[in-house]
Amino acid sequence: MKTLIIYASKTGTTEKCAKEINKKLKDSKIVNILNQNEDINHYDLIVIGTPIRMGMIDKKIRKFLIRNIELLKSKKHAFFICCGFNENWKNYYVQNIPKDLLDTAIIYDTFGGIIDIQKQKGFDKIITKIVSKKIDKNKEIKILSDNFDKFIKVLNY
C-alpha cells in the first residue's frame, strides 16, 4: 500500500513524528506541506500530521483538508496531532477537522508534544512563556510512545 505522510511543523516535534512514521512504513513518502505539494491521487493511504497551536491546526493543513475533502473521504486516511495539552486532544479534532473526515479515518490520535520556548519566535514565544507558567510542574510534556506504537500498528494492517 502506497502511503503519503503529509505534515506541518513549526518547532520540529510534528516533523520528528512524521519521520518516525515514515521509517516504520513500507512504500511511504513524507512531505512537508510548508515546502511542497504532492498529488494524493497516487496514494492508497494518506497520513496527516499537524501541531496544535492555541487550539488550532496548522493553516496550510486546514486548507489542504478543505481542498481535498472528497478525495480524502474516498481513500484510507489517518491523523495525528502534536500538542502540549493532551487532555484536550479530542476537542482539538472536533474543533478543527471536518466531521466527515474524522468519521472515515482509520485512526486519529495525539502523540503528545514538547514545549520548547527556545524554538518559538515573536508572539508565539510570549504566549508560550505565559502558558508554560500555568503548566503543572509535575506533569511531564513529552512524546507519547504508547500512542505512537498503537498508531503504527493500525497503519500496518
Q: Which domains does the chain have, with CATH numbers?
A: 3-155 (3.40.50.360)
3-state helix, strand, coil in the chain (%, to 5): 45, 20, 35
Cell numbers for 18, please give them: 512524521
Cα(78)–Cα(47) distance, rounded to whole angstroms? 5
Confidence tier at 127 by pLDDT (50, 70, 90): low
Which has the closest alpha carbon to 32: 22, 42, 45, 24? 22
Q: Is 27 left (phi over 0), alpha (psi -120 to 50) or beta?
A: left
Quick one: pLDDT at residue 75? Answer: 96
Q: Which of 21-30, 68-77, 101-110, 141-150 has the lowest mean pLDDT?
A: 141-150
Higher pLDDT among residues 34 and 77, named by residue = 77
17 or 157: which carries more pLDDT confidence? 17
Q: How confident is the model at residue 155 (pLDDT cuts 50, 70, 90)?
A: very high
pLDDT value for 54: 81
pTM value is 0.83
Q: Which three cell numbers stand for residue 43?
A: 496514494
CB of 3 within 8 A of CB of 43?
yes
Q: How many CA atoms lie within 13 A of 28 on its CB side?
A: 22
User: Is 140's pLDDT higher than 50?
Assistant: no
